[in-house]
Chain A
Amino acid sequence: MSGPINIRDLAVGARVVLGSGAEAEIVSNPNDGVWLFARYLASPRDPALVGQEDMIFAQDVVEVRP
Chain B
Amino acid sequence: MTTNGPRGYRPGLVDLATGQISREIFVNDDIYAEEQERVFARSWLFVGHESQIPNPGDFFVSRMGEESVILCRDRAGAVHVFLNSCRHRGMKVCRYDDGNTTVFTCPYHGWSYGTDGALVGVPYFREAYHSALDKARWGLVEVAQMCAYKGTVWANWDAAAPPFLEYLGEFRRFLDLILDGWDGREGQAELLGGVQKWLIPCNWKFPAENFSGDSYHNISHRSVDLVGVGPSGKSRRDYGELDVARKLHVAIPDRGHQTITYVLPSGHQPQPAYQNSPEVAEYFRHCEEERRRRPGANSRLIGAPGEIFPNLALLPRQPRTLAVWHPKGAHQTEVWRFFFVDRDAPAAVKNFLRDYYIRYSGPAGMTEQDDMENWNYAHAASRGVIARRYPYTYEMGLGHAVENYEWEGLLLPGRVVDLTAAQASEEPMRNLYRRWAEFMEADSWDELMTWRRNAPREAVAAK
Give Cα A59 to B107, complex, Å: 13
- Among listed B98-106, B325-333, B397-405, interface-contacting one: B98-106
Q: Give every chain B residue within 8 A of A34 (Cβ-Cβ).
A: 105, 107, 110, 112, 121
Beyond A32-B103, A57-B110, A57-B121, 11 additional contacts (C-beta under 8 Å) are A30-B101, A30-B103, A32-B101, A32-B105, A32-B112, A34-B110, A35-B105, A35-B112, A55-B120, A57-B124, A58-B110
A residues 43-66 touching B (CB-CB < 8 Å): 55, 57-59
Decide: B105 and A30 in contact? CB cutoff 8 A. Answer: yes
Of A28, A57, A58, A59, which is within 8 A of B102 by CB?
A28
Q: Give every chain A residue within 8 A of B121 (Cβ-Cβ).
A: 34-35, 55, 57
Report the minimal beta-carbon distance from B55 to chain A, rounded to whole angstroms.
Answer: 16
Give Cα A32 to B123, complex, Å: 14
Of chain A, the residue at the smallest CB distance from B123 is A57
Residue-by-residue, is B107-118 near A (CB-CB < 8 Å gives 1, otherwise 0)? Answer: 100101000000
Decide: B123 and A30 in contact? CB cutoff 8 A. Answer: no
Give Cα A57 to B122, complex, Å: 8
Q: Give every chain B residue within 8 A of A57 (Cβ-Cβ).
A: 110, 121, 123-124
Give Cα A37 to B112, complex, Å: 12
Q: Give every chain B residue within 8 A of A30 (Cβ-Cβ).
A: 101-103, 105
- B residues contacting A by CB (< 8 A) are 101-103, 105, 107, 110, 112, 120-121, 123-124
Give Cα A35 to B102, complex, Å: 11
Give Cα A57 to B101, complex, Å: 17
Of chain A, the residue at the smallest CB distance from B101 is A30
Report the minimal beta-carbon distance from B100 to chain A, rounded to whole angstroms.
Answer: 10
Of chain B, the residue at the smallest CB distance from A46 is B126
Decide: B123 and A59 in contact? CB cutoff 8 A. Answer: yes
In the A-B complex, the 8 residue pairs with the closest CB atoms: A55-B121, A32-B105, A57-B123, A30-B102, A34-B105, A34-B110, A30-B103, A35-B121
Give Cα A37 to B120, complex, Å: 11
Give Cα A46 to B110, complex, Å: 24
Known contacts A55-B112, A57-B110, A35 near B103 by CB under 8 Å = yes
Q: Give every chain B residue within 8 A of A37 (Cβ-Cβ).
A: 102
Report the minimal beta-carbon distance from B389 to chain A, rounded to whole angstroms.
Answer: 54
Q: Give every chain B residue within 8 A of A58 (Cβ-Cβ).
A: 110
Give Cα A32 to B102, complex, Å: 10
Q: Give every chain B residue within 8 A of A55 (Cβ-Cβ).
A: 112, 120-121
Q: Give every chain B residue within 8 A of A59 (Cβ-Cβ).
A: 123
28 A-B interface contacts by CB (under 8 A): A28-B102, A30-B101, A30-B102, A30-B103, A30-B105, A32-B101, A32-B103, A32-B105, A32-B112, A34-B105, A34-B107, A34-B110, A34-B112, A34-B121, A35-B105, A35-B110, A35-B112, A35-B121, A37-B102, A55-B112, A55-B120, A55-B121, A57-B110, A57-B121, A57-B123, A57-B124, A58-B110, A59-B123
Give Cα A47 to B103, complex, Å: 27
